[in-house]
Structure 1
């Protein structure tokens, strides 16, 4: 295979231009084409992975699937919080309504290969890099997207529903939609020099 001829200016532009856009910024009832979601997932599949374990797995909710996901997380929240006396109606409504405002909601799943004998941190990092590839692809298409760890991310009851084994991990949800505005969010970072120490000898 010949060495690829990358355009570094475009690489820099997409990395530094990537942004999170949230539900309030979503354009509702105008779905993103599945072919774009498939492209995002294909790019996710090319993330770095130690020992080629490829621990990333995705469950994509769209159409009526969004309601199925929304109902699961809302009703599970209601059941959990009622037992502890911490039920909050606005939280319930948010869990029931927010997924329906997205075009696609992608569950981010880390499935461990225990035979590979890798530190769990490496597998989590591999999945996170896969999600970054999805983020960059979504931004390149001008889409609104964000990765959140709300809802059932850390609920033990969610593991069976998502088909996870005990050693696997639900790592949140990637929401995708068309943006409601043409305005792109401003970015803000502290200078990288504040976070780097060079050791030259």
Structure 2
């Protein structure tokens, strides 16, 4: 295979203009085509991975699946908070309603391959790079998307619900929708020179 020729300006453009866009910025009741979600996931599958463990796994919720996810996380929140005595109605409603405002929600999972004998950090990083590929693909298509680690992400019951082993991790949820407006969020970064030391 010959070395591919990339459009460097376009690569820089999509990287530097990728933005998180949240539920309040979603266009509702206008689903993203499944083929775009499949492209997002295909690009996720090409993230760097030491020893080719490919530790990323995804569960995609769409259509009625969004309601199933919403009911699951809201009901689980209620069960957990009743035990702890810290139930908040607004939190319950948010967990119940926000998933229905998305087109697709993708659960992000890190599946460990213990035989590979890799540090967990490498596998977590590989999944994070897969999510960055998802972000960039969504941005290139002009979609609204964000990676959230709220709700059931760190609840042990959710881990069990997704069939994860002790060494596996639920790493959050990637929300995707069409944006409600053509206005693209402005980004801001401090200068890279403030964060780099050169040794020559």
Secondary structure class of the residue paired with 1:172:
strand
Secondary structure class of the residue paired with 2:156:
coil
Matched, 1:85 2:79: no
Unaligned stretches of 5+ residues in structure 1: none
1:54 matched residue in structure 2: 54
CA distance in 1, matches of 2:15, 2:32: 22
TM-score, scaled to structure 1: 0.99
CA distance in 2, matches of 1:192, 1:94: 37
CA distance in 2, matches of 1:191, 1:78: 44
Secondary structure class of the residue paired with 2:185:
coil
Q: What do the CA deviations read for 1:129-177 (whole angstroms, capped 9, x no partner)?
A: 0000000000000000000000000000011211111110000000000
1:192 matched residue in structure 2: 192
Unaligned stretches of 5+ residues in structure 2: none
2:63 matched residue in structure 1: 63
CA distance in 2, matches of 1:194, 1:136: 25
Matched, 1:38 2:77: no
Q: Give the superposition deviation at 1:190.
A: 0.4
Secondary structure class of the residue paired with 1:69:
helix
CA distance in 1, matches of 2:51, 2:101: 38
Secondary structure class of the residue paired with 2:146:
strand
Matched, 1:3 2:7: no
Aligned length: 200
Secondary structure class of the residue paired with 1:152:
coil
CA distance in 1, matches of 2:122, 2:85: 38
1:72 matched residue in structure 2: 72
Secondary structure class of the residue paired with 1:133:
helix
Matched, 1:178 2:178: yes
Secondary structure class of the residue paired with 2:97:
helix
Runs of 4+ in 1 over 4 A off after TM superposition: none
